[in-house]
A and B are shown apart, each in its own frame.
Chain A
Amino acid sequence: MKILVPVKRVIDYNVKPRVKADGTGVDLANVKMSMNPFDEIAIEEAIRLKEKGVATEVVAVSIGVAKAQETLRTSLAMGADRAILIQTDEDVEPLGVAKLLAKVQEEEGAGLIILGKQAIDDDSNQTGQMLAALLGLPQGTFASKVEVADGSVSVTREVDGGLETVKLSLPAIITADLRLNEPRYASLPNIMKAKSKPLAQKIPADYGVDIRARLETLRVVEPFSRMAGVKVADVDELVAKLKAMGVTA
């Protein structure tokens, strides 16, 4: 079984994003970029399934600027077998990404597609579900455990209030939650080896789908910032303040 893992190049999660003064977006010039953390978890899970003999090949795919190659090389260094870059300078929305990925899946015929549950830049949490809808496949979102057996996959999902387990027919779409696994670091020899693994270059036009943006961003602003607070000296002062606010036991 082949596994397809879409990965996204995003601002590094440790960087505090700065809103541009003209309100057109977030300033990404000279900001450290990395693989979306949920996508690292997705790649890790795919590689573990290969190590268990469940998967035969892991294919990473990314849609974005030329530099998204770096993100794909990272996934190759972690253990993916080959990569596909669909290069575009446009921002492609989740619906457009899902349409492109659906075409990639038609070519690749993967048994599982594992995505991250959301990208930490647009925080949409849509692409996996949309891809499942477009392909008419089942979805196991917010996965914290994945078990493939007898032509189906059991997915334990993190839901409000606890955990839920569903069984999906294959092929299936899974979106990874934080607790699915602990992604490995790519070792130096593997980073070197990744440079010679195949990376196919495509453009959106190769797939003939409509990816024009449906949402227009009118402006981007800083969130309301909180007033500076006070520090209290001891518990008595804190208790007095709490009582003044009407918070009492």
Chain B
Amino acid sequence: MSKVLVLVEHDNASVKDATLAAVTAAGQLGEVTALVAGSDCDGAATAAAQIAGVAKVLKADDASLANALAENVAPLVAGLMADYDAFVAPATTTGKNVAPRVAALLDVMQVSDILSVEGPKTFTRPIYAGNAIATVESSDAKLVITVRGTAFAKAAATGGSASVEAVSASGDSGLSTFVSAEIAKSERPELTSAKIIVSGGRALKDAATFEQVITPLADKLNAGIGASRAAVDAGYVPNDYQVGQTGKIVAPEVYIAVGISGAIQHLAGMKDSKTIIAINKDEDAPIFQVADIGLVGDLFTLVPELTGKL
């Protein structure tokens, strides 16, 4: 049986959701060992040990691993890979930053953003902004994979009882230092794990109108708030709200697109949503080609009315 090392995404205290989908994908390849690399990361290691399907947790606790700098994490992973057949990371910004560096250190080609495991070395992945799905087979001795979180069921966060084993970090590369982070604070459900998302586009006019129209509906539905690139570029909302090929990939139960035309790059980020609802005044907008339910009209009257009637 293959041995698979999974990179745990965490904030030192708890494990982030994206990891759970990566564990499911990794479980389809073999026995799962979770790697928690961080500084003062006991809490995260304890949480990782409880994930169903994790056989063992490796904990690398060192100041040099505090902010998941790729220059320090990648050599650690590459070193551990002597004992593993595959390395799996969630396709988050952390996973996308670290995994290719690991792959090059191991001289293997990474398989990015997989949608399914078709065989021991065969996977499907989206190309051309999700307009085509490729099935690829690796000929490398070891696999390096990133996993699209919305394509795999999440492993249960509890029920497991893996042992935790400490491993040493490979030290500080001296190449890079963490300076600061500005993390947007939000009480809302996180975009990539929200069950319902209300998303706004350029038609919202400005930041105040976006807030005025979208937020009450999202509040009422306990939904995450997303946006098209046009809305982000116009400064209505911060860029971590962006849904699309270059932003976040989401697949909620219900995606409500308000004033979004539906460009290829936006659809790439949300067309796997279970139900898509579009509200747009242009009845020829491409969004209506993927929407399950469409409502044509002025969003400035329709959305408040909808909010009121729910």
Contact = CB atoms under 8 A, between A and B. Distances in A.
Nearest to B119: A218
Contacts of A168: 175-176
Nearest to A164: B181
Given A215-B139, A220-B127, A226-B271, A134 B104 contact: yes
B292 A218 contact: no
B178 A241 contact: no
Contact of B288 (A122, A213, A216, A229): A229
A167 B105 CA distance: 22
Contacts of A118: 246
Contacts of B110: 94-95, 124, 126
B288 A231 contact: yes
Interface in B155-193: 173-184, 192
A205 interface: no
Contacts of A57: none
B96 A125 contact: yes
B129 A247 contact: no
Interface stretch (A10-18, A62-70, A76-84): A10-18
A226 B290 contact: yes
Interface of A is mostly: mixed
Interface string B189-210: 0001000100000000000000
B28 interface: no
B221 to A, nearest CB: 6
Interface in B268-310: 271, 275-277, 283, 288, 290-296, 302, 305-306, 309-310
Interface stretch (B31-39, B46-54, B130-138): B130-138
Interface stretch (B55-63, B67-75, B79-87): B67-75
B306 A239 contact: yes
A159 B71 CA distance: 16
B206 to A, nearest CB: 18
A232 B295 contact: yes
Contact of A19 (B93, B132, B220, B290): B132
Interface string A5-46: 000000101101101000001100000000000000000000
Given A215-B109, A238-B277, A166 B92 contact: no
Interface string A222-249: 1100110111101110110110010111
Interface string A98-134: 1000000000000000000110111111111111111
Nearest to A14: B264
A1 to B, nearest CB: 17
A216 B136 contact: yes
Interface residues of A, number: 82
Given A26-B127, A129-B104, A166-B176, A238 B133 contact: no
A74 interface: no
Contacts of A249: 220-221, 310
Contacts of B128: 11, 17, 26, 120-121, 123
Interface stretch (A47-55, A135-143, A185-193, A194-202): A135-143
Nearest to A182: B233
A23 B221 CA distance: 42
A223 B182 contact: no
Nearest to B274: A245
Given A95-B109, A247-B196, A222 B132 contact: yes
A161 B183 contact: yes
A224 B293 CA distance: 18
A171 to B, nearest CB: 10
B112 A129 contact: no
Given A238-B295, A249-B220, A165 B136 contact: no
Nearest to A165: B179
B136 A217 contact: yes
B101 A139 contact: yes
A235 B96 CA distance: 41
A140 B306 CA distance: 44
A236 B177 contact: no
A93 B109 contact: yes
A179 interface: yes
A154 interface: yes
Given A163-B181, A179-B232, 20 more contacts: A25-B132, A120-B128, A125-B100, A128-B100, A129-B97, A129-B101, A137-B175, A140-B176, A141-B97, A144-B239, A159-B93, A159-B181, A160-B94, A160-B192, A166-B69, A166-B177, A178-B246, A214-B138, A214-B139, A218-B135
B133 A165 contact: no
Nearest to A235: B305
A121 B112 CA distance: 13
Contacts of B238: 162
B305 A229 contact: no
